Amino acid sequence: MVIQKIYNNNVVLVIDIESKKELVLTGKGIGFQKKPGQNVDRDRVEKKFITEDENFTNKIRKLASEVDEKIFKASNDIISYGEQLLGVELDEYIYASLTDHISFALKRNRENIDIKNDLLYEIKRIHKKEFEVGKWAVEYLNKEFDANFPIDEAGFLAMHIVNANYKETTHESFLMTKIVKEILNIIRYYYSIEFEEDEFNYDRLVTHLKFFAKRLIEKEQVENKDNELIHLIKIQYEKAYNCAIKIKTFIEEHYDYKITDDEILYLTLHISRVTSTIKN
């Protein structure tokens, strides 16, 4: 791979001789003491981004010209840690969005402007692993940049990981978290319980609600496949079913979304499992 342009010590533009494609490469010192026309040190490559998306490439170019290269390295380290902890490959757009966020957050922090994260409690409950990445990132940034980010910042950083994992925008991710919070509150108040957040059925419920919220936002519905089964579930799990109906009423009143019987069926089963475990 031949270097076309050096953005900074950690970001370069190259052309892959075999595929004839342009790539943005990142890695510690990948552009240090290099010149256009030279081969890149493959051992230094940490991330590869295909430049077919011109919007993404332009964002990287703009960031590279405006942002301290230490922030690029920090962003890269946080993304790598997140991918390792979650066992996934995050969407490439996180490299631009997270780098930009960290740059602005550090500026705010130096000016002693801290923003309260109103969804922090829900992010900790709903996006546990992503929040672990956020906490790690806050410790990393505080140490590397002599910053003093509060725990609220871990929630904001976690949502960037959520975005990149679910391929959502920041607005959609916060909306998804809000919807999950609302449904969990309905279940909590209906049963007068507190969830056992380390319990496996709670994780199952939250995972189901995340994908339910994603379907709601994207206006996708689960098709009705077994109308007879819903009648059996209604009898066998009466209380959980009635709770699911309350959720249905709330969602249809507050969001432009119609909940199908199959969705009610899945909700009922998850509610029954998680509440039965707590009662037992």
18 and 106 in a single domain? The answer is no
Residues 229 and 181 in one domain: yes
Are residues 163 and 176 part of one domain? Answer: no
Q: What pLDDT is attached to residue 36?
A: 86
Q: What is the CATH number of the domain that holds 189?
A: 1.10.1790.10
What are the tokens at 17?
Answer: 């001789």
Same domain flag for 176 and 132: no
* One domain, residues 150 and 72: yes
**Would you say how long the chain is, in residues?**
280
Overall domain count for the chain = 3
Domain containing residue 36? 1-58
Give me the pLDDT at residue 210, please: 85
Contact 40, 1 (CB under 8 A): yes
pTM of the model: 0.64
Tell whether 177 and 101 lie within a shared domain. no
Q: Look up residue 227 and give its amino acid.
A: N
Shared-domain flag, residues 115 and 150: yes
What is the per-residue pLDDT for 56? Answer: 73
pLDDT of residue 181: 92
Q: Which pLDDT does position 132 carry in this prediction? A: 96
Out of 167, 184, 203, pick the residue that ends a domain. 167
**Which strand (E) or helix (H) includes residue 8?**
strand 2-8
CA distance 121 to 140: 22
Same domain, 188 and 161: no
What pLDDT digit, counting tens, does each position of 95-104 carry?
A: 888 988 899 8
Q: What is the CATH number of the domain that holds 46?
A: 2.30.24.10
Co-location of 81 and 151 in the same domain = yes
Domain-terminating residue out of 58, 83, 99: 58
- Answer for the pair 122, 131: CB distance below 8 angstroms, yes or no: no
Tokens standing for residue 134: 């956020």
**131: helix, strand or coil:** helix
Given strand 2-8, what is the order of strands in its sheet? Answer: 2-8, 11-15, 22-26, 47-50
Residues 152 and 220 in one domain: no
Residues 204 and 119 in one domain: no
Which residue stretches of the chain have pLDDT < 70? 49-53, 55, 166-170, 200, 222-227, 279-280
Of 167, 183, 217, which residue is a domain's last? 167
The answer on 74 and 52 residing in a single domain is: no
| Confidence (pLDDT) at 53 | 66
